[in-house]
A and B are shown apart, each in its own frame.
Chain A
Amino acid sequence: MRPLAQGSWGFPVGKRSHGVIFAFLLLLLLVAGVWALAVGQYALSLREVGEVFLGRSTETAQVVILGVRLPRVLAAALVGAALALAGAAYQTLFRNPLAAPDVLGASAGAGFGASLAILLSLPLLLVQWMAFLGGLLAVGLVYLVARMVRRHDPVLVLVLSGVAVGTLFSSGISLVKVLADPSVQLPSLTFWLMGGLNGVNAQVLPPLAALVALGALPLFLLRWRLNLLSLPDEEALALGANVAALRAGVVASATLMTAAAVSVTGIIGWVGLVVPHAARLLVGPELSRLLPASALLGGGFLLVADTLARTLAAMEIPLGILTALVGVPAFLFLLARGGRG
């Protein structure tokens, strides 16, 4: 049996320093949260921001902080955590460092659902729900196809049908683009596909939080067993794991989180692919540490990216652009450092 700890990506970290790393990640998330609450397009001094939480501020300051910024900050952290968790789960499941939350077509499906809703000029709430259902539908189809094909390696079949179904839904998006009204619907659709949190409000949060929690819970409960998925099937089976059931559980959890996140924010790339790698460089591949580290790091990362998106210019910068601009250098730095270690 191969040792589980310290795959090719990990670098040796002592037990005690894990605690330090988690404390640091938590601190990072908190600092990012405070910073995000303090800055924005509506000019408020730090004192005014503080007074909101002491309950003696002006009404407008309350609306800005509690009605606009706080929901957005929480949503950014939730979405970042969800995408990073889904990415970490898939990278383990597929034993492939290139796996991302959209590998089974969840993003393409959500994009198709949303673009259909935009084409039909449906209200915002329905756009979000159709995106969510589109994501579930795409992955459902992938899973169905994979169940029917039994002669090949199940993981390979899952990935390949994910690529195929994802492509199908992507061309569906292109078709909707062609049919959409170019002056209103098409730009709106383009913005959606670049991602952004500007539409988040307090009403979105409870369902988003519930769905993300519903997806994250099984992953955390099964974290010890999920490590077995990084082994070849025969070895895992020999260790008494019900590989097929585990795999289904991971797919369902990751899909739920991805679809919920994407339905609120539009498509945000890079977070789910790269944050788990960064987390793995920090705490190693063992899932009981990798999952919480990914969630904290993903939440903090997206929070920083979104705060930049809404403060760098007078207009919103599409989030997908910033996650790449912020994420790539950070990732390359970590990679270079980790490599030396």
Chain B
Amino acid sequence: MPQNPHRRAFLRTVASLAFLPLLGRAQGGARLTRLFGPPLRGPVRRVFVAGPPAAVMAYVLAPEKLLGWPTRLGQEALAYLLPEVRGLPVYGRLVGSSATVSVETLLAQKPDLILDVGTVDATYLSAAERISSQTGIPYALVDGRLTESAEQLLEVGQLLGVEDRARRLAAYARVALAEAARYRARSGPKPKVYLARTASGLETGLGGSINVEVIEVAGGVNVTAAAGRGGLTRVSFEQLLAWQPDLILTQDASFFQLARQDPLWRRLKAVQTGQLYLVPSLPFGWLDGPPGVNRLLGLRWLVRRLNAGVEPLDWRVETWLFYRLFYGLEPSAQQLEALLAGLQGG
């Protein structure tokens, strides 16, 4: 049967139109944001966040628009955040295996926008589609890769109508990312890094995992990369002896204690040479937990740990600046002391 080229083109257009709502609309030139559901009606005043990285994003840009937290934050973490968000309710997570937010809770909050930042894959795309069509609330899903932090801040800033603030934060992100990119591109051997998670220190992320992204962005090699790509995993101590990482990073204070005392951990070169670091985890982790824009300061720190010749920073000053700029509060001398203690290495 002879094909009519016009007819084929027409069918293709119809087909792509039919899929369009599924894929979400890219919003006004935005590269990272997919919008689902109805278009935004007027300025966004109330934001419902779908998960922890989105909560960080919404908080740093417009804390007054945040409706609640996706996870319980401890008193220690809340002390680093503005007083007005400390009493916000905890709604739980909207997407994923342990999602706990009901559609009714969501509707009762009358949000102008649902915001999710993080991995963009079929699971999250279909969840965004389903939730937005069920509730009739606009839903923005933003690609949350660390290297795109500046663009994320700008795009979400535009959605929330806080462009000025977004530009200031994005400028910081650009500096941190450009600095990292410069050293990452240098040739030569790269330090091997192990990111120890949890109290045992024997959980970590594989290469490509969003939880350990910061290592590669900062110009290091994740020791687990050889073992494959994927999500989180457990490793045996024997494996660590074989890898002999140059640097061990953790955000877990009890593991930091354990590793410095345990005779086995003390066998590792990195522990012997004081290259074990307790990276701050309050109010959000510097390296992970959650994988959001909170990692920018950790990135600046790690770039300096991994590469020789980077212009040094005064960490008391830099931390104070970052916390004031992103979290809106100036940490006290005491808080700074507590945050930075573990960065001396042990």
Contacts and interface: CB of A to CB of B under 8 A. Distances in A.
Contacts of A186: 98
A181 B236 contact: no
- Residue among B231, B251, B262 with the highest chain A CB neighbour number at 10 A: B262
B206 to A, nearest CB: 7
B226 interface: yes
Given A68-B241, A184-B197, A315 B96 contact: no
Contacts of A201: 237, 262, 264
A63 B200 CA distance: 18
B203 A178 contact: no
Contacts, number: 123
Interface string A25-46: 0000000000000001111000
A121 B264 contact: no
B288 A121 contact: no
Contacts of B236: 40-41, 68, 72, 198, 310, 316
A316 B239 CA distance: 10
Given A42-B242, A124-B254, A183-B290, A178 B92 contact: yes
Interface residues of A, number: 41
A127 B52 contact: no
Interface string B171-209: 000000000000000000000000001111011001000
Contacts of B70: 182
B267 A63 contact: yes
Nearest to A199: B200
Interface string A295-318: 000000000000000100111101
Contacts of B161: none
Contact of B228 (A121, A178, A198, A315): A315
Given A63-B241, A178-B92, A314-B228, A199 B202 contact: yes
A314 B288 CA distance: 23
Interface string B275-315: 00000000000001111000000000000000000000000
A64 B241 CA distance: 8
A69 interface: yes
A31 to B, nearest CB: 21
A341 B288 CA distance: 59
A22 B291 CA distance: 54
B45 interface: no
A181 B238 contact: no
B15 interface: no
Contacts of A118: 198-199
B34 to A, nearest CB: 21
B202 to A, nearest CB: 5
B238 A68 contact: yes
A315 B226 CA distance: 10
A198 B235 contact: yes
B252 A315 contact: no
A118 B254 CA distance: 11
Nearest to B92: A178
A184 B234 contact: no
A178 B239 contact: no
A122 interface: yes
B268 to A, nearest CB: 10
A179 B264 contact: no
B242 to A, nearest CB: 4
Contacts of A315: 206, 224, 227-228, 233-235
Given A123-B199, A123-B258, A183-B290, A191 B234 contact: yes
A207 to B, nearest CB: 16
Contact of B291 (A183, A187, A191): A183
B51 interface: yes
Contacts of A111: none
Interface in A171-205: 177-188, 191, 196, 198-199, 201-202
16 contacts: A40-B236, A60-B241, A67-B263, A123-B257, A124-B254, A124-B258, A127-B199, A182-B96, A183-B211, A183-B291, A198-B236, A201-B237, A201-B264, A313-B227, A314-B227, A316-B234
Given A41-B239, A184-B288, 17 more contacts: A42-B238, A63-B264, A63-B267, A64-B241, A121-B253, A122-B199, A123-B257, A124-B254, A124-B255, A177-B98, A180-B71, A183-B290, A183-B291, A199-B200, A202-B264, A313-B227, A314-B226
